[in-house]
Structure 1
């Protein structure tokens, strides 16, 4: 498709609607978007300021919205220009004939509208193409207003390209992301959820994603980043921890999946209009590097619920409501842990939280063991030693102080604790102006009871 033909046609439609032709800067903005330029690049080429170009672009999208009758944005226009294969454009009086493939579409009248075929199958963000076949079912969702607000700000206000949501197994990462999709889906052209539980190669994943994006386009694009630039895409990659080694520090890739790390860096470093969200038990190392570089990459460490977890106690029919906050705090507000423990309280104490908490000397683990074990199985030997040492401490550890541990050096301990933090097993807290580190109390209890198997 010739951009000059599109510019000429667009100018005619704007003139028919407003009585004014497009200004030269407006044409440059359209042409720049066609060439995947950002506003700064367009500003530099036209010797204008970034703010001026952005302001003129906003005016242009408003004009085109009035002409087309749809909500036009930068991502929509880019998609429109690159996806529509206009094979023949000719005027017949007051009608415009556009040829598509083997047929023609006639648009007549003073306010022509683009045919739906020009909208990438998305009706200008009215009906995004969504594939959530790999997503788990959203059964229960507990209030995560703060986290949802943070994610929306990152995506729309800060235009973050790569987001990592990490946290303990079954803490609610998938539920949070599904709720996010529910609230923002109309802001995207494409949304796809893919689980990495079967550990596909990067090549096969890219091929699958490209096929998904290309299904509504007449001309396939060469690379995945081209699709990210051409449309507003949201990609969720779940179970990312399957790419990482067990028995190694957090976020270290298995040899055959090291190219994923380069791919994630490419997503953050290359300009485009899309967002990729990674869901993982562990924080990928690339994210820390990208954040240090001030790249558009963010990390959300998803922790347990606060008072919202009282809904779990209510649903389970627990009694002694005044004790619910203590129970929630004991089990870190983890929704699955609380559901399991609540079932135990019903089974053993007829729902009485007071009776369950009567002896607080030990934290009851019970049916939580399989979940805890699956998390601890991934630890390196160094992390296991550090976890055992942390479990033996009566208070949070200040790493700046001299340590009485001879099994490993201070640098090894720092490395191990940093890795445990990136798994969500150790929490950093502030005490007397110093950062201190505390092992998750449920894991601490388990480790104390099974220390021999971890040593």
Structure 2
């Protein structure tokens, strides 16, 4: 499955290091659930009981705590405490008595959209208490959380305790992608496969979603598909819509600027664009939030968007600006001054300069140019 190093890391944390709290985070479709399920199967003999809870429908914390207490007690404990705090204490008692493995999947379903990443929805804060209890209290068990967003306090728990750790799942390499698509009847040269995987950032689900159009519309020819230079469409857009729809306004502004500039931007560059609307501290905290959502990447040159996210945000930005101009309400133009002279230019080449603009790709259409 192309995840041997990541699987080995999870196995080590579960069985050798005996971590109390683990997180597996990454974009939708990156393979978090598949990898964690495999790791849980490998580690199961080392635990007394293993329970998987799907949070997609937003079950109230009291219900999940009751369900877990029943399960880890062998369905003998039926006299439940009425309070959430009491149920947390009862579950912790079972975590201390035996080696339990509890996995909470789809954590983003109970996170608050429209604000910085990693905060729980109103009424669901007890899940954060559960994570904090697992990380900070002595016990024999392990709680694993899987989600598209890293909880806000996860980094603090990792620093304060060697018993908490996070795995941020990245894309797959070309051989792994070819293995996933081996039955899709797609043909291409090695460099074309590399380009396909790079455009979709090695995301297994995005690659699978793209496979059908490549086969049906381009007769399975990668060269013909790549020549179109359009990769964000259909179900791929739907997947990215789910992520973008959760962003706070400040996060959207930074994503828009990264799409307009189409190159890596340092924190100071983004502060220059966003001031005086947003204080320096707000820009930094917003960038940290986007990293917790895995929607931006970072290297020595600064923050940038992967190709597929860049194309998606650019298309969305152009469409929204057009709608606003037609309606006579250019709100986005006021927040993202896309017509600013020099906007969209890559920095002058020099020592240490790394451009993230895709080879041969022009500035965002309708957004940037030489003035």
Answer yes or no: is the 8 Å Cα contact 1:264–1:286 preserved in 2: no
Deviation at 1:309?
Answer: 0.9
Q: How does 1:32-43 map to 2 (within 5 A)?
A: none
Deviation at 1:366?
Answer: 3.5
Is 1:177 the equivalent of 2:36?
A: yes
Answer yes or no: is the 8 Å Cα contact 1:268–1:295 preserved in 2: no
Is 1:447 the equivalent of 2:313?
A: yes
State the distance in 1 between where 2:15 and 2:251 align: 38
Q: In the alignment, what sits opposite 1:328? A: 197
Deviation at 1:219?
Answer: 10
Is 1:299 the equivalent of 2:143?
A: no
Q: In the alignment, what sits opposite 1:438? A: 304
Deviation at 1:218?
Answer: 8.8
Is 1:250 the equivalent of 2:109?
A: no
State the distance in 2 between where 1:201 and 1:286 align: 21
In the alignment, structure 2 segments of 5+ residues that lack a partner are 81-88, 322-331, 333-371
Answer yes or no: is the 8 Å Cα contact 2:95–2:139 preserved in 1: yes
What secondary structure sits across from 2:261 in the alignment? coil
Indicate how the Cα distance of structure 1 residues 218 and 340 shifts in structure 2: closer, same or farther if over 3 A, else same: closer
What secondary structure sits across from 2:186 in the alignment? coil
Answer yes or no: is the 8 Å Cα contact 1:214–1:220 preserved in 2: no
State the distance in 1 between where 2:125 and 2:32 align: 24
Deviation at 1:364?
Answer: 4.1
Q: In the alignment, what sits opposite 1:193? A: 52
1:226-262: CA deviations, max 9, x gaps? 1111111111101111221111110111121112212
What secondary structure sits across from 1:357 in the alignment? helix
Deviation at 1:453?
Answer: 3.4
Q: In the alignment, what sits opposite 1:395? A: 263
State the distance in 1 between where 2:307 and 2:91 align: 43
Is 1:241 the equivalent of 2:241?
A: no
Q: In the alignment, what sits opposite 1:420? A: 290
Q: In the alignment, what sits opposite 2:243? A: 375
What secondary structure sits across from 1:153 in the alignment? helix
Answer yes or no: is the 8 Å Cα contact 1:148–1:176 preserved in 2: yes
2:233 aligned to which of 361, 365, 387: 365
Q: In the alignment, what sits opposite 1:152? A: 11
State the distance in 1 between where 2:153 and 2:320 align: 32
Greater relative contact order, per chain length (Cα 8 Å cut-off, separation 6+): 2
Answer yes or no: is the 8 Å Cα contact 2:22–2:145 preserved in 1: yes
Deviation at 1:302?
Answer: 1.1
Answer yes or no: is the 8 Å Cα contact 1:365–1:442 preserved in 2: no
1:277 aligned to which of 127, 144, 152: 144
Answer yes or no: is the 8 Å Cα contact 2:135–2:161 preserved in 1: no
Answer yes or no: is the 8 Å Cα contact 2:104–2:144 preserved in 1: yes
Is 1:404 the equivalent of 2:273?
A: yes
State the distance in 1 between where 2:178 and 2:36 align: 22
State the distance in 2 between where 1:149 and 1:368 align: 30
2:224 aligned to which of 335, 342, 355: 355
What secondary structure sits across from 2:9 in the alignment? helix
Stretch of structure 1 that moved more, 396-405 or 168-177: 396-405
1:1-38: CA deviations, max 9, x gaps? xxxxxxxxxxxxxxxxxxxxxxxxxxxxxxxxxxxxxx
State the distance in 1 between where 2:232 and 2:293 align: 22
Answer yes or no: is the 8 Å Cα contact 1:403–1:410 preserved in 2: no
Indicate how the Cα distance of structure 1 residues 218 and 421 shifts in structure 2: closer, same or farther if over 3 A, else same: closer
Is 1:231 the equivalent of 2:98?
A: yes
Deviation at 1:399?
Answer: 1.3
Give the structure-2-normalised TM-score.
0.78
Deviation at 1:342?
Answer: 1.4
Count of aligned positions:
309
Deviation at 1:359?
Answer: 4.2
Indicate how the Cα distance of structure 1 residues 366 and 242 shifts in structure 2: closer, same or farther if over 3 A, else same: closer
Deviation at 1:445?
Answer: 0.8
Indicate how the Cα distance of structure 1 residues 233 and 332 shifts in structure 2: closer, same or farther if over 3 A, else same: same
State the distance in 1 between where 2:180 and 2:221 align: 14
Answer yes or no: is the 8 Å Cα contact 1:237–1:278 preserved in 2: yes
1:360-399: CA deviations, max 9, x gaps? 4x54434311111111110011111111111111311111
